[in-house]
Amino acid sequence: MADIKAIVFDVYGTLFDVESIQKACEQHFPGKGEAVSSLWRSKQLEYAFLRQLMGQYEPFNIVTKDALSYALEIHECSYSDEVVQDLMDAYNQLLPYEETEEILRHFQDKKLAVFSNGPDEMLDPLLRNAGFRDYFDAVVSVDEIKQYKPTTASYAYLLKQLHVRRGEVLFLSSNGWDIAGAANFGFHTAWINRKGAPADRLGHKPNMEYNDLNGLIEENNL
């Protein structure tokens, strides 16, 4: 794949461990941290997809907050506005995967970009808290076009920001639906399948599949 000029990373679950929010949830709700954080994530994605279908876009931070409130109510957690804000703030301090920084350093000869459903007010503090912001040539959010991934319009907007051809883009995500969307648009794709899950039946397979981001270096084909 010598023609690759831009490597694009999804953020949540790809560069940063969304499950690391479990610790903050557990601190507020002992014994329920895992259940709350798991439902929070699934509802976060569900709400984004449903709002896209309904034509009722809301920024991902609003969707994330709504999903959190739902998860807390389902698990009968008593909470205040201060607790919700504390957990939302914790989402801006998710832990990066241990290999993330090494990968970003390794590919500084390529154009590196982030493409996320998160708005700038979520992405900027997250990347800066981890010390990663300066590794990227572009940080692109769907909030700029108000079209959540995996819509075709979202990937088309990304391509316009990168100033390369779609065949020159390698898109990485841990989310199978995101990989399918990017492949459908015509990007080369690498699925970071951290949990060894079966591929989603969405009509597209990734060009590459790795257990973690280290696979990019180990394959040595870029």
Domain ranges of the chain: 6-16+96-219, 18-91
Active site residues: 10
CA 154, CA 48: separation in Å to the nearest integer? 13
Q: Which residues lie across from 190 on neighbouring strands? A: 172, 208
- What superfamily in CATH does domain 18-91 come from? Putative phosphatase; domain 2 (1.10.150.240)
pLDDT tens digits, one per residue of 98-135: 999 999 999 999 999 999 999 999 999 999 999 999 99
Cα 139 to Cα 10, 114, 136: the distances in Å are: 10, 5, 7
**What angle (nearest 5°) sits at the alpha carbon of residue 89, between those of residues 85 and 52?**
85
148-180 per-position pLDDT tens digit: 999 999 999 999 999 999 999 999 999 999 999
Residue 57 CA to chain centroid, in angstroms?
18
Length of the chain: 222
Q: Are 135 and 112 in contact (CB under 8 A)?
A: yes
Query: Domain 6-16+96-219 is in which class?
Result: alpha beta
pTM attached to this predicted model: 0.94
Structure tokens at 111: 């154009």
Helix axis angle for 81-91 and 60-74, nearest 10°, is 120
